[in-house]
Structure 1
Amino acid sequence: MQGAVPKRTTSADGTPIGWRQLGTGPAIVIAHGAMSTGEQWLPVAEILAEHNTVMLVDRRGRGLSGDAPDYDLSTELADLDAVLAVAGPGATVIGHSYGAIIAAAAAAAGADISALVLYEPPLPVVDLIAANACTSCARAVEAGEHERALSIMLADIVHMDESDVGDLRRSPMWERMVDLVPTLPRELGVINGLAGDLDRFTTIQQRTLLLLGEVTAQYQRDATRFLVERLPAATRLEIPEQAHFAHVAVPGTVADAVRSFLGGA
């Protein structure tokens, strides 16, 4: 991460929360999804850093951040609040997947955020997110079978094509993702626990860009439609030929979408 400066702050429960910071200008805070760290968004951040201060957060339990035994969505919200206190008032927050749930929940709770970019938050708006697969994944983690748990996650929850999973297994990303598997069951539990609490997300007032891959899973499309239909200042943008990881596959396209959205304020 050439040019990225590691920084840290402390969350409400005393857990250290770290990020890598690039560029100068209005602040953009990026909250990554499950099975990754902030590093996954570096190609997008390097483009955005031409005109912005970009803060690539490592969410608790990975990378530069610490962890604690107690965990729920409120701990993640406190973590993001701690970073936003450093970023200053009116930051933009980009959230991907589980990170998009955190970003949306923070905005709904009144965090000082000027704009949101939400890339496929997996809200359980039609049904629980692959409940049987979540149970199988948790059991695999309990058994120490982390590669099997990751395979279940990608195939049965993210709905990644078998060939794409095979490509990922042969890439350097696979080992890094396997290392993060122990954080997965608690996050899946939070997602499905939101099934009766979706109205909290309809109070978001900030300008919101909802990114959606053209060939992404149906439950992601359902969640995005739910927000588009209920948020007063939401814009939906579909990314051609992409699914859940366009920021990795076509980072320039994602960065351009964010810059266009912010430039149109």
Structure 2
Amino acid sequence: MDEESTTLHRVRGRVTSRDGTPIAYERYGDGPPLVLVSGALGTAAGERVLGGLLAGRFSVVAYDRRGRGASGDTGPYAVEREIDDLAAVVGAAGAGAALHGTGTGGALALAAAAAGVPAGPVSVYEPPYSAEERERWRRVAALLDRGRRAAALDLFLADAAAAAGLPPGVTRLRPGVAGPARTLAYDLAVLGDGTLPERSLARVHARVLVVDGGASPAGTRQAARALTAALPRARHRTLTGQTHEVAPHVLAPVVEEFLAEDRETAGAV
């Protein structure tokens, strides 16, 4: 039995997306609904530590994105279908559910908010919009285009390890990161050309918290500030000493504080 199983009571469920694809999720905790959107290769299992830290204040829902874990993968892939998946999960979590996304999961959460998914406030950690990230994903895309999925996965993991400050040549597959290599193409589609989608971001009317790590590359931190400026109602926060592999116990209280402030603001209106 894994460690989280001894402390969290998880309820597993499944919703059907607009195109008939089954999307699996886990729910734990009690309180206002909060949906966690994983980044590249992530699954619901990978969100359990962060979700467990937030479960004392929120009803946390983590889900397997399309093509991962216990979820289906109806083709052909389209970003709009992933947005429909997230909309179905929000429907199961509860209307107005807050969203938190890390990496490409943050980009997807913002795309869903821009598309009108009835979610509440959004927090994101380092969506990959820096020039360095664009180059990283360009190299991954080139391998995928040549059908070299294993090589693309190796490159992605090596780059992720470098971003986490691991020594050169060291790769690491984090617990809960189990998405097949083909889903890297899905994250590429979510990112588009890798530049800030300013026209789309202008349609995000929810309050947004953009978070980055103080030990992340300068380009990543600059991209976070640019993202904050492109959103109509956003604020920025840097977590001292953190890299892209943010520590859940550092991130959780920041997300909790932001969502508590949002509820207070809504109550005052």
Measured against the shorter chain, the TM-score band is: 0.7 to 0.9
Partner residue of 1:255?
A: 252
Give, as a single letter, the amino acid of the residue that structure 1 aligns with 2:181.
Answer: V
Partner residue of 1:232?
A: 232
Distance in 2, matches of 1:164 and 1:53, equals 39
Summarize the Cα distance change of 1:189–1:114 in structure 2 as closer, same or farther, 3 Å threshold: closer
- Deviation at residue 27 of structure 1 after TM alignment: 0.1
Summarize the Cα distance change of 1:179–1:112 in structure 2 as closer, same or farther, 3 Å threshold: closer
Summarize the Cα distance change of 1:30–1:179 in structure 2 as closer, same or farther, 3 Å threshold: closer
Summarize the Cα distance change of 1:60–1:178 in structure 2 as closer, same or farther, 3 Å threshold: closer
Establish whether residue 109 from structure 1 lines up as the match of residue 115 from structure 2. yes
Q: Is the 8 Å Cα contact of residues 83 and 111 (structure 2) preserved in structure 1?
A: yes
Following superposition of structure 1 onto structure 2, how do residues 52-201 of structure 1 map, counting pairs within 5 Å? 52-123=58-129, 128-130=134-136, 132-138=138-144, 142-143=147-148, 146=150, 148-156=151-159, 159-160=162-163, 161-163=165-167, 166=170, 168=172, 173=175, 177=177, 180-193=180-193, 195=195, 197-201=197-201
Give, as a single letter, the amino acid of the residue that structure 2 aligns with 1:98.
Answer: T
Partner SS state of residue 211, structure 1:
strand
Partner residue of 2:213?
A: 213
Summarize the Cα distance change of 1:128–1:251 in structure 2 as closer, same or farther, 3 Å threshold: closer
Summarize the Cα distance change of 1:127–1:216 in structure 2 as closer, same or farther, 3 Å threshold: closer
Distance in 2, matches of 1:192 and 1:129, equals 13
Distance in 2, matches of 1:238 and 1:109, equals 27
Cα distance per residue 1:57-97 (max 9 Å; x no partner): 11011112111121121011000011111122211000111
Partner SS state of residue 130, structure 1:
helix
Distance in 2, matches of 1:156 and 1:136, equals 15
- Deviation at residue 118 of structure 1 after TM alignment: 0.8
Distance in 2, matches of 1:179 and 1:76, equals 15
Q: Percent identity?
A: 30
Q: Is the 8 Å Cα contact of residues 207 and 233 (structure 1) preserved in structure 2?
A: yes
- Deviation at residue 127 of structure 1 after TM alignment: 8.8
Partner SS state of residue 253, structure 1:
helix
Q: Is the 8 Å Cα contact of residues 33 and 95 (structure 1) preserved in structure 2?
A: yes
Q: Which runs of 5+ in 2 are unaligned?
A: 263-269
Summarize the Cα distance change of 1:197–1:213 in structure 2 as closer, same or farther, 3 Å threshold: closer
- Pairwise CA RMSD: 2.6
Summarize the Cα distance change of 1:12–1:50 in structure 2 as closer, same or farther, 3 Å threshold: same
Distance in 2, matches of 1:253 and 1:126, equals 25
Distance in 2, matches of 1:19 and 1:28, equals 12
Q: Which runs of 5+ in 1 are unaligned?
A: none
Distance in 2, matches of 1:127 and 1:25, equals 36
- Deviation at residue 46 of structure 1 after TM alignment: 0.7
- Deviation at residue 231 of structure 1 after TM alignment: 2.1
Cα distance per residue 1:217-238 (max 9 Å; x no partner): 4443343122211223212111
Partner SS state of residue 90, structure 2:
helix
- Deviation at residue 136 of structure 1 after TM alignment: 4.0
Summarize the Cα distance change of 1:165–1:254 in structure 2 as closer, same or farther, 3 Å threshold: farther
Q: Is the 8 Å Cα contact of residues 129 and 192 (structure 1) preserved in structure 2?
A: no
